[in-house]
Each structure stands twice: as C-alpha cells, then as structure tokens.
Chains A and B, each alone.
Chain A
C-alpha cells in the first residue's frame, strides 16, 4: 500500500531509481523486527511467541491479525452484526473531542486553524497531507472500527485510537491560535507585547482547564497497592528470614521494598 502510494503521488520526482531504492531499503530496515519473529521461533522453538511463525500461512495469519479479524478491531460473533452506524461513531468522536479532550476553545481554535491552513494555495502543499490523513482516518478507520459502543470496555479500547488523530487537531488548534491573535492584533492595532500576552493567557487557561479536569485521573500520591502487596508477601515469613530471588514480578516488588524500607534481601 505504501510503496504504490508514493509511486503514484510522486511519480515525477521518482524518476531516479536510486531515490526509490534508498527509501525502500530504509523502510525495510525499519520493518526488519518482523524477521526477528521468525528467527526467535526457529531458535527458541516458539516458547513465548504467538502463532506458528515457521510456516508461510502461520506468518501471514500473524501479520494480518487474522485470529482477531484483519482490518477490523473486533471479530465479534458475526460479520458486522455489532458494527454501530457510521454517523454514531462520528458523533461519539467529535463530542468526546469537544467536551472532554480539548474543550470548546481548543476545538474552535482547531476549526479556525483548519480553515486558515487550507485557505491559500501557498499553504496547501503542507496542509493537504494533514487533511488527507484526517479524512482517511475518520472514513476508513471509523468504518472498520466495529467495536460496540454500548459496552464501556470496548469504548475504552476505541478511546486509545483517538490520540494519533488528535495530534492533527492539536496542530490545527496551534495554527488557529496563531491566526486568531494575529488577526486581533491587526484589527485592534494591538502591540506585540499584548499579542504575546494573549497567546500566553490562552495557553494557561486551556492547559489549566485540562489539568483541573484530568490531574486526578493519574494522581498516584495515595497509591500504596504495591507496598501493601509486597508486605503481604513478607508477612507470613518469620523474622530474619532469608529470601532468595531469581527474577520475576514478585521479586521486583520485594526489591522495591528493600530500596525504600528496612526489608533485608
């Protein structure tokens, strides 16, 4: 998919075979960890690998995620029986974006930035790929995303695919902020200092709003689960016991206790 895309989109510039070969080799070099799967199973007899990677069918099954459903997130119990309507998915994404992720201000600035970035021919050459990325994602991927939206577990799975496209929204929000402040400066003859202060004020307000809304989600200051788990492992042991470690999740917890308290290991 990638090589034909480059060839079709840039065929004039790819008149040199040397350029195409260089890019192709660079891509294959990055893709080479997939060879490691084959080597790993061949050498270690597939001790920790997934599927049969020593046969071509097995390798292609692994590569295409056939067991989970190729080109779809959820295999489910039927073909597309659980696939929510496309417009429901769009509404779900945009309402999450506006009311949870970036807020109304961030979303509005992103819209301004999108219009600003495509409003002239000069900017089109760098903004068109971003628009193409976004359009491709919300059409192709959203169509293929057949996770049921009435199950919180699957909604959580789908949330994890949003950040890669929200980066584009963040880029447009930046462009929108820049354009909005520049326009206000011109319209009201504001000085450079006032313009920069406005930028910093919007930055502080938006980020402050997000931190206020989201900080508590990752506040681990009262998280003592690991310590309690470690002490539960040690409590049945008599005093002055010698604990022998050979590596593993239990052992790393005990090492943490050794480093942070008086437990001797």
Chain B
C-alpha cells in the first residue's frame, strides 16, 4: 500500500509540475514541459528517502500523496480559477489532517491561494 501511495504521489507531482509549467509559459503543455515534469517526478520518487520508505507501513507515503495532490489542486485552481478545484483542495486538506498533522507545516501557506 505504501508503494502504491508513493507512486501516486509521484504521479500527482508530475501533474502539478505540468500545471505550473503551463501557467508559466501560458501555452498548452509541450513535449519539453512533459519531459521536465517527468524529470521532477522521477527525481523525487527515486530519491533515497522516498525509495526506502515506500516499503514501510507508515503514515508518510499517504501524507506525501496528500501533499502532492494539494500542490496539483493549487496549481490547477490558480490556472483555471474553477471553484470545484478549490472545494476539492479544502476536502483534501481536511482528509490530510486526519492522516498526519504536519501537513499544516508544509502546505498551510498554499491555502492563501484558494481565493
């Protein structure tokens, strides 16, 4: 389960980077955008701590999944300004807090973007 959660975290991180790069360039995602997003996601998922703890039954892989999902929803909302992404972001915030409270330490400032 931890391995699945870590893999999903990497997937959300990939999507988050695509959203961010699309926002920065104000164009549709290009091959270059997809390659740099893959670079960031793989750099993260094959780092020694994530790689090692993906097989430990702990709260951290799920916490990382929620953090990545929050990043993706933030960038998606910033680009599209559509309310469902903001509501989903608030929902994920609540669920993430029930898993591990230190998500507030790393993601609390993101909430200022859901306006």
- Contact surface of A with B, Cβ cutoff 8 Å: 1-2, 5-6, 9-10, 12-14, 19, 22-24, 26-34, 65, 100-102, 106, 117, 123, 125-126, 129, 132-133, 136-137, 140-141, 144, 159-167, 170-171, 173-175, 177-178, 181, 195-196, 199-200, 202-203, 206-207, 210-211, 213-214, 217-218, 220
Which residues of chain A are near B52, meaning CB under 8 Å? 214, 217-218
Which of B71, B90, B104 sits near A27, CB closer than 8 Å? Answer: B90
Residue of A with least CB distance to B21? A178
Which residues of chain B are near A30, meaning CB under 8 Å? 90-98
Are A213 and B48 closer than 8 Å at their CB atoms? Answer: yes
Are B17 and A133 closer than 8 Å at their CB atoms? Answer: no
- Contact surface of B with A, Cβ cutoff 8 Å: 9, 13, 16-17, 20-21, 23-24, 31-33, 35-44, 46-55, 58, 60, 63-64, 67-68, 71, 74-75, 78, 83, 86-88, 90-98, 101-115
Are B92 and A170 closer than 8 Å at their CB atoms? Answer: no
Q: State the main secondary structure of chain A at its contact with B.
A: helix
Are B20 and A28 closer than 8 Å at their CB atoms? Answer: no
A18 to B63 alpha-carbon distance, docked (Å) = 30
Which residues of chain A are near B107, meaning CB under 8 Å? 133, 164
Which residues of chain B are near A132, meaning CB under 8 Å? 109, 112
Would you give 20 A-B contacts (Cβ < 8 Å), ordered by A?
A: A2-B111, A5-B108, A9-B112, A26-B91, A30-B95, A30-B96, A123-B24, A126-B23, A132-B112, A133-B110, A137-B106, A163-B60, A164-B103, A173-B40, A174-B17, A174-B21, A174-B40, A177-B39, A203-B42, A218-B55
Taking the closest CB of chain B, its distance from the CB of A172, in whole angstroms, is: 8
Are B110 and A129 closer than 8 Å at their CB atoms? Answer: yes
A23-B87, A217-B52 known; A160 and B36 CB under 8 Å? no
Which of A29, A167, A218 sits near B91, CB closer than 8 Å? Answer: A29
Query: Which of A9, A26, A162, A166 has the most CB atoms of chain B within a 10 A radius of its CB?
Result: A26
A129-B113, A170-B43, A195-B32 known; A160 and B24 CB under 8 Å? no
Which of B17, B32, B53, B93 sits near A171, CB closer than 8 Å? Answer: B17
Which residues of chain B are near A5, meaning CB under 8 Å? 108-109, 111-112
